[in-house]
Amino acid sequence: MRRVVFNQKGGVGKSSIAVNLAAISASRGIRTLVVDLDPQCNSTHYLLGDASNQPQTDAYGFFEQALSFQLKPRSASEFVHETPFEHLAILPSHPELGDLQSKLESKHKIYKLRDAIDQLADEYEAIYIDTPPAFNFFTLSALVAAERCLIPFDCDEFARQALYNLLNNVRETRADHNALLEVEGIVVNQYQPRASLPQKIVAGLEAEGLPVLTTRLSSSVKMKESHNEARPLIHMAPAHKLTQEFVQLFEELTAGH
């Protein structure tokens, strides 16, 4: 299954959710790949720590190759790195990835990632794509390459208003480029069950028939610790409440597949 974690808003939990779900998947023996398309490289640092980024063997190298015709292009797996965690690999991002965007756009390269992921799907049973906080070439490439779209949501009123536009972008991508793409659900992150406003906002989404997933993720300082230590929650704090919520979310998503 190929999933993209997408929201045009930053700071909603895309990278945290992509990496932690991928780490749970890998911990169950499923060969899992994270694809980091955000030049902020948060998922890359989360999984590889400071040791990340050898030039050219990352998403930058991959997309740069896509810009020039080559008789013998490097295969997609040459851009993938092992992580310290068993069964978990990453196609890392690069801080200068954004510099390639206008060339990639003008040369219409939005199917290159899908082609690469088609190749990688033989090696990886689960693929999680992390995206930048924008609807740009890289997010569009990810939506074109994915089968499921997960939308992290941080219970903010502005984020609620932005959801309609976001869901329209997903529908439009589905209609124009990728009939396989389904919205898997809205993941409520940093939920405060005792505060009335988040409750009201989430109830409002449900009342409108939006696909809000049942599992809610709470807010915990463990998340920042986990980023700092470059160890996903399932390894750093397996019994913690937030980790267990991630496990429940993973099970909600994979039930029936």
Kindly list the residues in this chain that would bind ligand ADP in the complex (CB under 6 A).
10-16, 42, 133, 189-190, 217, 219-220, 223-224, 227, 242
**Which range in 38-46, 47-55, 167-175, 249-257 contacts Mg ion by CB under 5 A?**
38-46
Residue 217 contact partner, candidates Mg ion, ligand ADP, none, CB within 5 to 8 A by sort of partner: ligand ADP
Q: Are the C-beta atoms of residues 94 and 39 closer than 8 Å to each other?
A: yes
- Closer residue to ligand ADP, CB minimum distance, 66 or 135: 135
How many residues in the shown chain lie near Mg ion by CB under 5 A? 3
For the CB of residue 30, give the shortest distance to ligand ADP in the complex, in Å.
22
**Residue of 15, 27, 141, 243 that binds Mg ion (CB under 5 A):** 15
For the CB of residue 220, give the shortest distance to ligand ADP in the complex, in Å.
5
- Closer residue to Mg ion, CB minimum distance, 15 or 53: 15
Q: Is 42 in the site for Mg ion (CB under 5 A)?
A: yes
Instruction: Determine the Cα–Cα distance for residues 248 and 257; give it in Å rounded to an integer.
Output: 15
- Closer residue to Mg ion, CB minimum distance, 65 or 151: 151
Instruction: Determine the Cα–Cα distance for residues 224 and 100; give it in Å rounded to an integer.
Output: 30
Q: Are strands 212-218 and 182-191 parallel, antiparallel or unpaired?
A: parallel
Residues 6+ apart with CB under 8 A from 188: 153, 155, 198, 202, 212, 213, 216, 217
Q: Are strands 148-153 and 182-191 parallel, antiparallel or unpaired?
A: parallel
> 3-class SS at 34?
strand
For the CB of residue 186, give the shortest distance to ligand ADP in the complex, in Å.
13
Residues 6+ apart with CB under 8 A from 37: 59, 93, 97, 113, 129, 130, 131, 132, 138, 139, 141, 142
For the CB of residue 204, give the shortest distance to Mg ion in the complex, in Å.
26
- Closer residue to ligand ADP, CB minimum distance, 179 or 239: 239
Closest residue to bound Mg ion by CB = 15
Q: Is 14 in the site for Mg ion (CB under 5 A)?
A: yes
For the CB of residue 186, give the shortest distance to Mg ion in the complex, in Å.
17
Nearest to 14 by CA among 128, 169, 116, 91: 128
CA torsion sign, 234 to 238 to 243 to 248? positive
- Closer residue to ligand ADP, CB minimum distance, 13 or 198: 13
Q: Are the C-beta atoms of residues 195 and 176 closer than 8 Å to each other?
A: no
- Closer residue to ligand ADP, CB minimum distance, 75 or 219: 219
**Which range in 37-45, 71-79, 194-202, 211-219 contacts Mg ion by CB under 5 A?**
37-45
- Point out which residues bind Mg ion (CB under 5 A): 14-15, 42
